[in-house]
């Protein structure tokens, strides 16, 4: 009898608080938008809406406002995902398991967003955390990884989480500006879509108890790069107030108009179309369009190499990237003008330790020190000994020989470069630097602190991301610390809290960086020697 009473009391408590249960129905979670009413669901006390259209767009045309609908729009499922760049490219079995991708349902009219909020009726204006997915500029979606789910972050932080889909690859970046005003910004429609979603947030998020005057944009990898694009976009100023860049600061310059228009010329050639037949691009099947785009990029890349023109990226070839585009994106992201434009935006920026660990892909996870040294010798030449010494000084607790070859030198230099520039702006907003060094034990630990590894910790989605990070209370403890930092930054612009060491703003002089690991610590310019050597090698 005693146990029955206890059970009933617990049941009453959970029902009263609205936790631990799913609520759906015709009159559940109905909210207003400028286009009409939407109906979501309530799970664990969080109101959830998926697939709300924030705009619509015909192929290669600018986004426009969604026509109003009658009645109540059901918003229980994710909206269409932008068509993938290489939909038939297989991932190896381990990677498919590790990332646990959800590729979604593809569709070109993919301008939709998702919302998680603790309330739609309590008149409590909450910080808005606006998530931009990774995948470079050619793939990915708001549902691609299980870690992207916003329920836990919303509940833990008393914040409104928004995530979006937008156009990608050739659909988001083919430059048709010379063919009419409808295509004026087609070279950057992907970024224009994101700005349009932020405008939707300004108009509508108050109906979901979000504060349009406290919006934090955050993204990882390609999403982090898009954060930088928005910070350099004059027309996006005022649509967000804080920014977080996770493994997405790249030092290369944007493409120029002469390059983007040359790519378009080659696409037309591949499809045997004249300038007068440009409208045919709007009806060609996506696969044929995508194939022509790939060939065009390669042709232009080869010509750029012949002419000695630098190719942006990591040495993988010319790809779909944003470009300098009249008044829409008039500046490179690290230019004086762009940095001045966003000088009052507090920035949280960082990377993960290994990003793409070379040893895992080269079959050298368990290589001997001699084998590893031979590999490094091929990359660093006469700087090999100095490089190895610098790595050991920066990471004295590493024990495997392969650790020497797995230090990220793709994303970290760009993050430091951006932090150095921004932190020296006169009277500018603060910069906070992080470094995620926790290593996953999954698959024997071979992938270490892999690209995207911090995401389950940021979103407090440890249980959802077991394939990537395994399980265990230590991972959850770190997730508690890291997600709270992101939450605090969204609330106040300062990511520090009582469960972390004192985390001061970064400056070019002090190099203050917090390490997120089982034991979080503050370090100062920990890898300066490594970065200096890498710069001299190049």
Summarised one tens digit per residue, pLDDT across range 37-46 is 999 999 999 9
Q: Is 531 exposed, middle or buried (0-12, 13-18, 19+ CB in 10 A)?
A: middle
> Could you give the CA distance from residue 304 to residue 319 in angstroms, rounded to a whole number?
13
Contact present, 82 and 167 (Cβ < 8 Å):
yes
112 pairs with which residues across the strands? 53
Distance (Å) of CA 260 to CA 84, 86, 516: 20, 21, 40
DSSP 279-303: GGGGTS-HHHHHHHHHHHHHHHHHH
> Could you give the CA distance from residue 454 to residue 54 in angstroms, rounded to a whole number?
28
Q: Does domain 9-246 fall into CATH 3.40.50.1820?
A: yes
pLDDT at 90: 60
* 460 pLDDT higher than 70: yes
Q: Average model confidence (pLDDT) for the chain?
A: 94
> Could you give the CA distance from residue 164 to residue 183 in angstroms, rounded to a whole number?
23
Who contacts 296 (Cβ-Cβ below 8 Å, separation ≥6)? 263, 264, 265, 266, 267, 269, 270
Q: Which of 144, 151, 209, 355 is catalytic?
A: 355
> Could you give the CA distance from residue 262 to residue 297 in angstroms, rounded to a whole number?
9
Orientation angle between helical segments 384-394 and 369-380, nearest 10 degrees: 120
Contact present, 69 and 35 (Cβ < 8 Å):
yes
Q: Is 355 a catalytic residue?
A: yes
64 pairs with which residues across the strands? 56
Under DSSP, is residue 185 helix (H, G, I), strand (E, B) or coil? coil
Contact present, 263 and 373 (Cβ < 8 Å):
no
> Could you give the CA distance from residue 53 to residue 114 in angstroms, rounded to a whole number?
9
Task: Report the share of the chain in percent with pLDDT over 70.
Answer: 95
pLDDT at 10: 42
Mean pLDDT, range 435-462, rounded to an integer: 97
Instruction: Please report the sign of the dihedral spanned by the C-alpha atoms of residue 305, residue 306, residue 307, residue 308.
Output: positive
Domain 353-537: CATH class, spelled out: alpha beta
pLDDT digits (tens, 9 = 90+) for 73-131: 999 999 999 998 765 456 789 999 999 999 999 999 999 999 999 999 999 999 999 99
**Which of 424, 379, 432, 426 shows the shortest CA–CA distance to 406?**
379
pLDDT at 538: 63
Q: Which of 221, 323, 437, 485 is catalytic?
A: 221
Read off the tokens for 312.
């942006």
Residue 401: half-sphere exposure toward Cβ, Cα within 13 Å = 13
Q: Which of 149, 166, 241, 451 is catalytic?
A: 451
Read off the tokens for 537.
């090698």
DSSP 205-230: GGGGTEEEEEEEEEEETHHHHHHHHH
DSSP code of 415?
A: H
Residues in the chain: 538
Read off the tokens for 253.
């310059």
Contact present, 72 and 48 (Cβ < 8 Å):
no
Q: Which residue has the higher pLDDT, 49 or 251?
A: 49
Q: Is 288 exposed, middle or buried (0-12, 13-18, 19+ CB in 10 A)?
A: exposed
Q: Which residue has the higher pLDDT, 212 or 180?
A: 212
Q: Strand order in 126-132's β-sheet?
A: 22-23, 41-43, 46-53, 112-117, 160-164, 126-132, 210-220, 242-246, 347-352, 431-436, 512-516, 521-524
Q: Within a 10 A sphere around the Cβ of 252, how many other Cβ atoms?
A: 15
DSSP code of 55?
A: -
pLDDT at 245: 98
pLDDT digits (tens, 9 = 90+) for 304-324: 999 999 898 877 889 999 999
* 224 pLDDT higher than 70: yes
**Which of 157, 245, 210, 162 shows the shortest CA–CA distance to 460?**
157
pLDDT at 87: 52
Who contacts 293 (Cβ-Cβ below 8 Å, separation ≥6)? 169, 170, 174, 263, 267, 320
Q: Is 443 exposed, middle or buried (0-12, 13-18, 19+ CB in 10 A)?
A: middle
- Give the 3-state DSSP-derived string for 374-399, with helices as H, strands as E and coil as C: HHHHHHHHHHHHHHHHHHHHHCCCCC
**What residues does CATH 3.40.50.1820 cover in the chain?**
9-246, 353-537
Read off the tokens for 126.
């909450």
Dihedral (C-alpha) 60, 247, 407, 434: value to the nearest 10 degrees?
180
Read off the tokens for 187.
């070279």
pLDDT at 471: 82
Given pLDDT bands bounded at 50, 70 and 90, which one contains residue 20? low
**Which of 172, 166, 164 shows the shortest CA–CA distance to 218?**
164
Contact present, 142 and 164 (Cβ < 8 Å):
yes
> Could you give the CA distance from residue 377 to residue 148 in angstroms, rounded to a whole number?
39
pLDDT at 202: 98
Q: Is 133 a catalytic residue?
A: no
Residue 384's φ and ψ, nearest 5 degrees, are: -60, -50
């Amino acid at each position: 009898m005693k146990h029955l009473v206890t059970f009933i009391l617990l049941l009453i408590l959970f029902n009263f608080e609205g936790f631990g249960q799913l609520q759906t129905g015709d009159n559940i979670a109905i909210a207003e938008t400028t286009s009409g009413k939407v109906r979501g669901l309530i799970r664990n006390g969080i109101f959830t809406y998926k697939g709300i259209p924030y705009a619509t767009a015909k192929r290669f045309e600018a986004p426009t406002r969604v026509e109003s609908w009658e009645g109540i729009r059901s918003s229980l499922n994710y909206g269409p995902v932008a068509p993938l760049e290489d939909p038939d490219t297989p991932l190896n079995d381990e990677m498919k398991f590790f990332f646990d991708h959800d590729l979604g349902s593809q569709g070109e009219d993919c301008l939709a967003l998702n919302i998680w909020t603790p309330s739609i009726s309590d008149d409590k204006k909450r910080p808005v955390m606006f998530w931009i997915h990774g995948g470079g500029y050619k793939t990915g979606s708001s549902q691609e990884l299980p870690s992207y789910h916003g329920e836990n972050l919303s509940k833990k932080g008393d914040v409104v989480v928004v995530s979006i889909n937008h156009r990608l690859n050739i659909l988001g970046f083919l430059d048709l500006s010379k063919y009419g005003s409808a295509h004026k910004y087609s070279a950057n429609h992907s970024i224009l879509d994101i700005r349009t979603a932020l405008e939707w947030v300004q108009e509508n998020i108050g109906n979901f108890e979000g504060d349009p005057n406290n919006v934090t944009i955050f993204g990882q990898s390609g999403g982090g790069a898009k954060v930088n694009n928005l910070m350099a976009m004059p027309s996006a100023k005022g649509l967000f107030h804080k920014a977080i860049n996770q493994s997405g600061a790249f030092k290369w310059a944007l493409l120029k108009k002469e390059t983007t228009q040359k790519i378009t010329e080659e696409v037309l050639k591949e499809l045997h179309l004249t300038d007068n037949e440009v409208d045919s691009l709007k009806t060609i099947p996506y696969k044929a369009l995508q194939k022509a785009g790939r060939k065009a990029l390669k042709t232009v890349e080869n010509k750029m190499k012949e002419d000695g023109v630098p190719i942006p990226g990591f040495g993988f070839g010319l790809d779909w990237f944003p470009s300098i585009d009249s008044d829409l994106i008039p500046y490179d992201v690290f230019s004086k003008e762009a940095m001045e434009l966003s000088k009052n935006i507090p920035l949280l920026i960082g990377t993960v330790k290994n990003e793409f660990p070379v040893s895992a892909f080269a079959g050298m996870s368990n290589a001997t020190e001699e084998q590893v040294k031979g590999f490094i010798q091929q990359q660093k030449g006469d700087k090999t000994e100095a490089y190895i010494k610098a790595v050991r000084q920066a990471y004295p607790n590493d024990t495997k020989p392969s650790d020497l070859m797995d230090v990220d030198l793709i994303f970290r230099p760009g993050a430091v470069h951006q932090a150095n520039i921004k932190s020296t702006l006169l009277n500018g907003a603060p910069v906070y630097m992080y470094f995620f060094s926790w290593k996953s034990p999954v698959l024997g630990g071979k992938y270490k602190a892999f690209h995207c590894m911090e995401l389950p910790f940021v979103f407090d989605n440890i249980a959802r991301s077991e394939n990537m990070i395994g399980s265990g209370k230590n991972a959850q403890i770190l997730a508690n610390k890291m997600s709270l930092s992101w939450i605090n930054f969204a609330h106040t612009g300062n990511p520090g809290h009582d469960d972390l060491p004192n985390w001061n703003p970064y400056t070019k002089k002090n190099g203050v960086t917090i390490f997120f690991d089982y034991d979080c610590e503050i370090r100062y310019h920990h890898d300066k020697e490594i970065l200096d050597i890498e710069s001299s090698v190049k």
